A and B are shown apart, each in its own frame.
Chain A
Amino acid sequence: MATEWTVRAITRATLPILLVLTLVAVASGLVLGGFEETLLEYPSLLVLVPVTIGSAGNLGSVLASRLSTAFHLGTLSFGADETLLGNAIATVALSLTVFPVIGAGAWLLTSLLTESGLTFTTVLVVAVVSGAVLAVLAVLVTVTTAYAAYQLELDPDDVVIPVVTNTCDVLGVLVLFAVVQVVV
């Protein structure tokens, strides 16, 4: 079903879900506000905020769009399935590739510009542990959402990608918060 290209039609098709997603994001913002003092004290943790949120959402959305396509092509079955398992492994491997670079980059950039306030190892551990936990969560959220869309006979392209991306965004903040509580 294609939306007509007028301001009114596009707004009617997209604004309601956008406002719901905004509410979810504000909730995660309140969590972020809850550890504002820690974030302002250690700038390298503040540097990690957008990149953790963005990468978590990206891990989820890449997986979701691949599973949606496999689902449309009829090459996906839920259960012990090569497509499902292979994509899940790739998600974890991608996360374990990118998050060490993110942690190192965050520490380095902060140290160049101001004072990091934390050791290189601490920032690296925060990034890598967050990334590993988020990859596992992204797989669980994506598979659950894709399965629900399949059961409810919804088009996975319309539902799975926005739901997964935004859920992973929120999880990005929550996991970072939890890891900082434990490590820092």
Chain B
Amino acid sequence: MTVGDVAREAYREGLPALSASAVGGLLAGVALSGMRAEFDAVAGLLVLVPALLATRGNVYGSLGARIATALHQGLVEPRLRGSDERLRAAVLAALGNGVIASGFSAVVAWGALVALAAPHTSLLALTSIAVLAAFLSGIVLAVVVVVVVFGGFRRGMNPDTLVGPIVTTAGDVFGVLFLWLSVQLVTGGI
């Protein structure tokens, strides 16, 4: 293959996933820009945003890849009803890891803000928001990942190519949406 052939093929293969993540990212951005009042009210919240979004991508991307591989190997049946122990363990581990990593990022971010003498809210508020957002978005993302990967597999699609775009798109959108909800719940807005 010539350089041009390789480039054309890579371009065609990459465009759908990149377009999907661009749409998801723009929607998440619109939600984020609707949270300007929250960023003003909760000092330090914006610092958490990259960590929370990256955690969603890493945890649920890895869950999706794990389930996709297991489907290929016949270790997991693509059925939701009466689902087996292993699938439940994988989802629980993803939820737990997402909550731990998000809580950890809040503690580290708060420590850094204090060390830099930057404006910051209380450690309790920042951590509660991060943990609550991780838990709520985690439940939705786990369901989305399992349903999409199972559904795609049963329709004869390769689950590996579905996981990336689904997780980046849904992760960004639900990540920001549940961050907003968590701020409302913790600061008493709702």
Contact = CB atoms under 8 A, between A and B. Distances in A.
B101 interface: yes
Given A50-B172, A51-B26, A58-B18, A15 B4 contact: no
Interface string A94-130: 1001100110011001100110000000000000000
A115 to B, nearest CB: 11
A23 interface: yes
B53 interface: yes
B28 interface: yes
A15 B49 CA distance: 19
Contact of A50 (B29, B40, B104): B29
A55 B22 contact: yes
Nearest to A61: B164
A30 interface: yes
Chain B: interface residue count, which band? 35 or more
Contacts of A53: 25, 50, 53
Contacts of A11: 93, 96-97
21 contacts: A7-B93, A15-B100, A15-B101, A22-B55, A22-B101, A25-B55, A29-B51, A30-B112, A32-B47, A33-B46, A36-B39, A47-B32, A50-B32, A54-B53, A58-B17, A82-B3, A86-B2, A105-B26, A162-B58, A165-B58, A173-B50
Interface of A: 3, 5-7, 10-11, 14-15, 18-19, 21-23, 25-26, 28-30, 32-33, 36, 39-40, 43-44, 46-55, 57-59, 61-63, 66, 82-83, 85-87, 89-91, 93-94, 97-98, 101-102, 105-106, 109-110, 113-114, 162, 165-166, 169-170, 173
